[in-house]
Structure 1
Amino acid sequence: MLLLLTVFGVVLLGAFAQAVSGFGYALVTVPLLTVVVDPRAAVVLSALTGIGLTLVAAVRERGYARWRVAATLTGAALLGLPLGLLVLARAPERALSALIAVVVLGCVVLVWSGVRLRTGRAGLGAVGVLVGVLTAATGTNGPPLVAAFHSLGYDPRTFRATLAATFSGTGLMGLAGFAATGQLHLDVARTALIALPAVPLGWWLGNRLFRRIDPLLFRRIVLIGLLGSAGTALAGLAG
């Protein structure tokens, strides 16, 4: 019961972060879930509970999404997915935790420093391949997208909508990969089903806040969320 309540709370917090920033779900849920389940189960559990959230968000915000960009990134992600599945299946648990910490910290540095990524077709393709690897290996595929979309200068609503569109495609591919490689277990699916009601509740709470923030505050929320996730990942690694 304690395990299920913890998972419910983590999913609630992740959905809230996703509604406010557009990308926080996996960055919040994966590191926190590794406290109560193994890293592989955490990645799959996060993917299962989060896919409905991103699909609904993509449909609701479809008028604001840059669909051509999302399609380019999703297509390129398919190339990186097999490597990510291999890492998830073969890497030691501690190595997976280290990878999560490095990815999150890397994104903090990119966004905080204001580094502009190459966002032409080749640049977006490279970002997409990396997203594919991270989708399967750690579930934390948001950081390179966050940096790329900040470089493109998207306003908060376009930012959130295009992320949702990209996450929908990569999330479905990731779940198919987990099922094909035997990572989708009955116990994980059962836990995800119990925690699922936390998703709409967290989204509703976060969406109320999202409507009341300006672009500058939005950027600060992005950075604070990333720093918190990085700290959690590092704490888990140290332990």
Structure 2
Amino acid sequence: MLSTTTLLVICAVFFSAFLRGMAGFGFALAAVPIVSLVLPPVEAVAIGVLLQVVVGLRDVFVLHADIHRPSLVRLSLGSLLGTPVGILALTALSPDAARILIATAILVGLVMILRYKPTEQRAHNGLALAAGVASGAFSGLAAIPGPPAVAYYLGSGINSVQTRASLLFFFFIAALMATPGLFVAGAVNSHTLWLSFVSIPALALGTWLGTEAFSRLDNTQYRQLAIAVMGLSALLAGWRGLSAYI
């Protein structure tokens, strides 16, 4: 019989996989805070990363034809450059203060996105690289790499199918880069491996249902969904940061 902890993890994975399947991002955003209620945060992060690697392997075969390759390459390269910058910044800034700054940056970005809606595709290579650097810095500072990449795609005019596929690939790459460090830190152990394994059916079902939901969205509806998830990420990051001071 499954324990209460295991059941909560499975439910969190299902909900987060549905969100990820529909929006192309948001898995760790939803899963890590919920799983952290019953597990140490580092183990919650490990489970989130491991499962994103598992489902990402499936995405490589299913979605490779839909990705926007030029932007994805530049985002990934930028992330490699930006991650060390974010880690170095931690020496001068606490993780909670970083979360507050990131939440503020996300909200400012959302205001700009809401005021500007591209009417044609304008995938700017330099901007993609800059967004990748920002994503890496956000990841190094507070383990929140998503918002700059999402903001870039929403402002580029790239259609929702390519945006979703490219984001799924980007976070798969980010998860692959994070995995060795989690092993070194001891976050990947028999417990996290077991919980990840038993959650795979929920991961698969949630992803399938989310993908079905995405297929019913047009570009405008997808944009609205992505903006809503970004807003949620800003609220959660800001709350986690402020909770250390109140």
TM-score interval, normalised by the smaller of the two chains: 0.7 to 0.9
1:211 is the counterpart of 2:204: no
Cα RMSD (Å): 3.2
Unpaired runs of 5+ residues, structure 2, are: none
Structure 1 residue corresponding to 2:179, chosen from 161, 164, 175: 175
Aligned partners of 1:53 and 1:97: how far apart in 2? 27
Give the conservation status (yes or no) of the 8 Å contact 1:30–1:139.
no
Aligned partners of 1:29 and 1:99: how far apart in 2? 22
Structure 2 residue corresponding to 1:22, chosen from 16, 21, 24: 24
Give the conservation status (yes or no) of the 8 Å contact 2:100–2:242.
no
1:63 is the counterpart of 2:98: no
Structure 2 residue corresponding to 1:221, chosen from 222, 225, 240: 225
Unpaired runs of 5+ residues, structure 1, are: none
Aligned partners of 2:115 and 2:40: how far apart in 1? 33
Residue 124 of structure 1: how far off its partner (Å):
2.2
Indicate the residue corresponding to 2:14 in structure 1. 12
Residue 190 of structure 1: how far off its partner (Å):
2.8
Aligned partners of 2:41 and 2:55: how far apart in 1? 21
Q: Decide which moves more: 84-93 or 98-107.
A: 84-93
Letter in 2 for 1:12: F
Deviations 1:24-81 (A, max 9, x none): 2122223333333343333222111122223322421211211222122212222233
Residue 82 of structure 1: how far off its partner (Å):
3.7
Structure 2 residue corresponding to 1:192, chosen from 190, 196, 200: 196
Aligned partners of 2:142 and 2:42: how far apart in 1? 8
Q: May I ask how many residue pairs the two structures share in their alignment? A: 238
Structure 1 residue corresponding to 2:146, chosen from 128, 142, 151: 142
Cα pair distance change 1:133/1:47, threshold 3 Å: farther
Give the conservation status (yes or no) of the 8 Å contact 1:26–1:139.
no
Letter in 1 for 2:147: P
Identity level (%) = 27
Compute the TM-score of the two structures, normalised by the length of structure 2.
0.79
Give the conservation status (yes or no) of the 8 Å contact 1:20–1:210.
yes
Q: What SS does the aligned partner of 1:220 have?
A: helix
